[in-house]
Amino acid sequence: MNTGEERHRSKNGLLTTMAATRKGQSVQYALEGSVFVGGAVIQWLRDEMRFINESRDAEYYAQKVEDTGGVYLVPAFT
């Protein structure tokens, strides 16, 4: 929800975020709801993609990688 040029703190668990900004113009703020899907990503890697056998394997493989080479996983499940 756009709140305009004023930042508002939610009393209901919403996050304050910058909605937009343009050079020479005021920052526009918004309130947003956020869903944390970290666990769902691990479950998807395990159950659907079968990249790992157990959830804890994700940390094991993550620790072994020195550099992602610019590759990122962006969880955008709906």
Helix (H) or strand (E) holding 64, with range, is helix 57-64
Q: Tell me what pLDDT residue 72 has.
A: 85
pLDDT for 61:
93
Q: Give the containing element (helix H, strand E) for 3.
A: strand 2-4
Q: Residue 47 is part of which domain span?
A: 35-67
Residue 77 has pLDDT above 70, yes or no: no
Asked whether residue 11 is assigned to any structural domain, the reply reads yes
Together in a domain, 12 and 23: yes
Residue 65 has pLDDT above 80, yes or no: yes
In a domain, 22, yes or no: yes
The encoded tokens of residue 68 equal 């992602």
Has residue 72 been placed in a domain?
no
Is 61 domain-assigned? yes
Is residue 42 in a domain? yes
pLDDT level of residue 26 (50, 70, 90 thresholds):
very high
Average pLDDT of the segment spanning 37-44: 84
- For the chain, what is the domain count? 2
